[in-house]
């Protein structure tokens, strides 16, 4: 096995006395693990920060063997680690990717979306510029893993207009008319999850994140992976203070 790619660092674990096992998101080969010799050294440790873009080369004698991995820095986001909200967002997005995706399966749309999200976190003047993108990334990840929400039409009436809620049980959209009398049992649906854009304010962003968070916790981040949700809870708490 031999893979060369510009990849996103998603997770790094210490391995042995000096090495690390890094999991990188590649454009064409999905999430790939590799052993980095000397990965805990002063020279390589800053390269392997989650969120960084690296030129990666994986080599293994067979598909079953953990590949040896060498990396060179392409783009560092280390400067954002001193900004608590941006650092928390990068930490969550990369941890989610590493925990949720099966290794070795291509997810080109997710790679492009993660790269776009990280760029938005880096370049936007505030979290208002990337909060909606984070919710859309989580929504896309749910869909890529087979847990997509149906936001095309009302589950009760079949009407595509006036969609205002999501059923927490079925993941289908519900219109104002279809929700009459049941509003308190449904999740408010911000329009940006359907139409795009940045949302109309913090309330919209938090509403979108509540929807994706509900389905991530229920369908994806279960059992051992559930512990990763603590990073998301800390992020949502920080965003909530801004509202």
47 contacts 72 by C-beta, under 8 angstroms: yes
In the chain, what are the helix, strand and coil shares in percent, each to the nearest 5? 40, 25, 35
Beta strands, E only, 129-204: 163-166, 173-175, 187-188
> What domains are defined for the chain?
1-76 (2.40.50.140), 80-151+189-243 (no CATH)
H helices present in the chain, as ranges: 84-100, 108-123, 131-144, 192-195, 202-215, 229-242
Cα 84 to the center of its chain, rounded Å: 17
User: What does pTM read for this prediction?
Assistant: 0.94
Average pLDDT for runs of 10 along the chain of length 243: 96 91 97 95 95 97 89 96 94 97 97 97 90 97 98 95 97 96 96 89 94 97 91 92 78
pLDDT of residue 236: 93
CA 120 to CA 107: how far, in whole Å? 20
> Helix (H, G, I), strand (E, B), or coil: what is residue 10?
strand
- Phi first, then psi: give them for residue 152, nearest 5 degrees: -90, -30
Longest dimension (CA), the chain: 62
Q: Is 199 left (phi over 0), alpha (psi -120 to 50) or beta?
A: left
pLDDT of residue 243: 66
Q: Which residues contact 75 (CB under 8 A, 6 or more apart)?
A: 52, 53
């Amino acid at each position: 096995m031999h893979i060369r790619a510009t990849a996103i660092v998603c997770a790094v674990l210490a391995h042995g006395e000096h090495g690390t096992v890094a999991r990188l998101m590649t454009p064409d080969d999905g999430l790939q693990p590799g052993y980095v010799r000397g990965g805990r050294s002063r020279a390589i440790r800053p390269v392997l920060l989650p969120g960084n873009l690296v030129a990666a080369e994986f080599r293994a004698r067979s598909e079953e063997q953990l590949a040896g991995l060498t990396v060179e820095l392409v783009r560092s986001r280390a400067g954002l680690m001193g900004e608590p909200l941006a650092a928390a967002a990068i930490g969550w997005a990369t941890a989610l990717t590493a925990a949720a995706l099966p290794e070795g399966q291509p997810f080109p749309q997710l790679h492009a979306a993660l790269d776009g999200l990280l760029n938005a976190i880096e370049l936007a003047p505030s979290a208002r510029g990337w909060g909606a993108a984070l919710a859309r990334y989580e929504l896309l990840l749910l869909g890529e893993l087979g847990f997509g929400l149906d936001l095309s039409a009302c589950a009760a009436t079949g009407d595509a207009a006036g969609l205002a809620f999501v059923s927490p049980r079925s993941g289908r959209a519900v219109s104002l008319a279809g929700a009459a009398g049941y509003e308190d049992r449904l999740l408010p649906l911000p329009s940006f999850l359907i139409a795009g854009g940045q949302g109309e304010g913090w309330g919209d962003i938090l509403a979108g994140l509540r929807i994706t968070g509900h389905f991530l916790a229920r369908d994806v981040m279960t059992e051992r992976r559930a512990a990763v949700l603590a990073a998301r809870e800390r992020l949502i708490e920080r965003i909530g203070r801004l509202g």
